[in-house]
Amino acid sequence: MALLRRAYGAGPGHLAATLAGLLIAAYGIARIGQHGSWPRVAVYFVLAILAHDLFLLPLYTLLYAATWRVGRIGADRSRRVPVLRHLVVPTVISAVLFIAWFPLILRLPRFSGTLTADVSVYLSRWLIITAALFLASGALYAIRALRARGLPAQEAPPADGLAPGPPA
């Protein structure tokens, strides 16, 4: 047992779980290999990871920077309701819908000639949904801002816990 730990770097449970999992995965990989398309599938696997690291990571960082600024604005007691947050939330939801359905929204070339379904409707639908999201968020902001105005500054509730404390 000690020998295993020294040579492998973990206990037998770790080895068993990893090997069992990799064995199942190896079956899938072997079968893809027999289908002849494995180089392309492998490229897609790597691209999937790279796309995440090189595209989404910078996006998250920007988003984080944006919410950080919201936090700073929230610290200013004169603005108890964070306006930026009411912009960030509908923007993110709209962006997620776009990322999932962009081939439809942008009418990208389709496996067609066989399909009658019309895809011209999706761009306008997505735009209308986006507008509705911003409208709802704006209405919510207006209600919260009106409510916050009625309260004296000291008793103002931490608007959704937005006033940041001192750096941890």
Partner 1 sequence: MSALDRPRRQLRRLLAEGPGGPFDRARWTSPLRGPWMASFLSIGLAVLFGLDLLTGYLSYVAYQPGLPGNALTGGGLDRHLFGWTWPTGPAWLYGVTQGVHILAGTVAIPILAAKLWTVMPKFYKWPPAKSASQALERLSLGLLVGSSIFLVITGLIDISYWYAGLGFSFVAAHFYAAWVFLGALVAHVGLKLGVMRQAFRTRGVLAPLREDLRATAAEPFDAETSAPVAPAAPTVTRRGMLGMVGGASLALGAFLFGESFLGGLRGTALLAPRGQDVGSGPNAFQVNKTAAGVGIKPSETDASWRLELQGDPHKVTLSRADLLAMEQHTHELPINCVEGWSTLQTWTGVRLRDLAARAGVASPGNVRVQSLQGGGQFSHATLSGHQAGDDRALLALKVNGADLSADHGFPARVIVPNAPGVHNTKWVASMRFGV
Does 28 participate in binding partner 1 (rule CB under 8 A)?
Answer: yes
User: 134: which DSSP letter?
Assistant: H
Does 2 participate in binding partner 1 (rule CB under 8 A)?
Answer: no
Question: Do the Cβ atoms of 141 and 85 come closer than 8 Å?
Answer: no
Does 17 participate in binding partner 1 (rule CB under 8 A)?
Answer: yes
Among 1, 9, 150, 152, binds partner 1 (CB under 8 A): 9
**Contact pattern for partner 1 over residues 87 through 126, marking x by CB under 8 A:** --x--xx--xx-xxx-xx---xxxxxxxxxxxx-xx--xx
Does 22 participate in binding partner 1 (rule CB under 8 A)?
Answer: yes
Which residues, 6+ apart, have CB-to-CB distance to 83 below 8 Å? 73, 141
Does 24 participate in binding partner 1 (rule CB under 8 A)?
Answer: yes
Among 54, 55, 57, 151, binds partner 1 (CB under 8 A): 57
Q: Taking phi first (over 0 means left), then psi (-120 to 50 degrees means alpha), and beta for anything else, what does residue 163 get?
A: beta
Q: Which long-range contacts (CB under 8 A, 24 or more apart) does 57-64 make?
A: 63/88, 63/92
Does 148 participate in binding partner 1 (rule CB under 8 A)?
Answer: no
* Shortest CB 81 distance to partner 1, Å: 14
Closest CA to 125 of 107, 144, 143: 107
